[in-house]
Amino acid sequence: MIATFRLELRRNRGIVMWCSVVALAYGGVIAGFYPTIRENTALIEEYMAVFPKGFMAAFGMEGSLADPGVFFNAYVGSMIWPILAAIAGIVLATRPVAADLDRGFLELPISTRLSRVRYLACAIGGQLIAMAILAAATVTGVFVVGRVFDAPFDGGRFALAGLLAFSFGCPIAAVTTLLSVATLSRGMAGGIAGGVVIAMYLLEVVAKIRTDLGELARLSMFDHFQLRPIIDEGTFPLADFALFLAVAAVAWGAALLAFRRRDLAA
């Protein structure tokens, strides 16, 4: 089982490395602009006032961009992290079952003494480590470069933001793993998972623009992923963190149970 887990980590390193490079580079560039934003706050706020408040809220720009929490939530929490989490989650979750079955590789590990459950558990462990590395890279790029430019970023609060980002990515990988086992099709599983993420994002946008539909936002995972209170106030949303992990645990658990008896010839 240890050998299988190590193999899974090696197979993950490509996507993890490139996504981490993107996260670090993007975070560094965005953080490099923070001093300019802070020095021109009045001008930027005057420009932002032209747009409807609901429109700006839909993209996480509620308040001043000179505020570290608003800045991070707008440029990272609402933009780059959901994209990276979805890409990595879908690619890594569809490979161990659907993609490997299509390539004929899956027959090799499940023909050994290693049980199906342990095989998929190794893959899930690899997904957890990959998501943790990507979340850390996403936060680190912004924090380190921001501190170079004397931005008032708090390391502890940024670490907590990274922890919530990690929990946000877990349900994406977990649900995709379950879909991969259920469909045995990488394209179908990835398409459904990606469609659900996009639908939840659009639901959040519509709920912010149409205040009369605000209650619908609770159905979106993006509504439970708010980084501004963490960075500005040091308030960690334990309920949302637990919700993300609970959904991930249930989906991964269901995937393990389903894979145990799944007819791979279907």
pTM: 0.90
Mean pLDDT of the 172-181 span: 96
pLDDT of residue 63: 67
Give the pLDDT mean for 107-136: 88
Asked if pLDDT for residue 266 goes beyond 60, the answer is no
- Residues sharing a CB contact under 8 Å with residue 86, sequence separation 6 or more, in sequence order: 172, 193, 194, 197
Residue 220 gets the label, from left (phi > 0), alpha (psi -120 to 50) or beta, of beta
User: Does residue 266 lie within any of the structural domains?
Assistant: no
Identify the pLDDT of residue 35.
82
Q: Indicate the number of domains in the chain.
A: 1
Average pLDDT over every residue of 14-19: 93
In this predicted structure, what is the pLDDT of residue 157? 94
Would the pLDDT of 197 be above 70? yes
Q: What is the pLDDT of residue 9?
A: 82
Domain range for 144 is: 2-261
Token pair 């899930």 in the structure block, residue: 124
Does the structure show a pLDDT above 60 at 178? yes
pLDDT at 129 > cutoff 90: yes
How many of the other CB atoms lie within 10 Å of CB of 210?
11
- Is 37 domain-assigned? yes
Q: Quickly state the pLDDT bin for 52 (edges 50, 70, 90).
A: low
Give exposure, 74-95, as e/b (b: 16+ Cβ within 10 Å): bbbbbebbbebbbbbbbbbbbb
C-alpha span between 15 and 56 (Å, rounded): 32
Compute φ and ψ for 39, nearest 5 degrees.
-75, -20
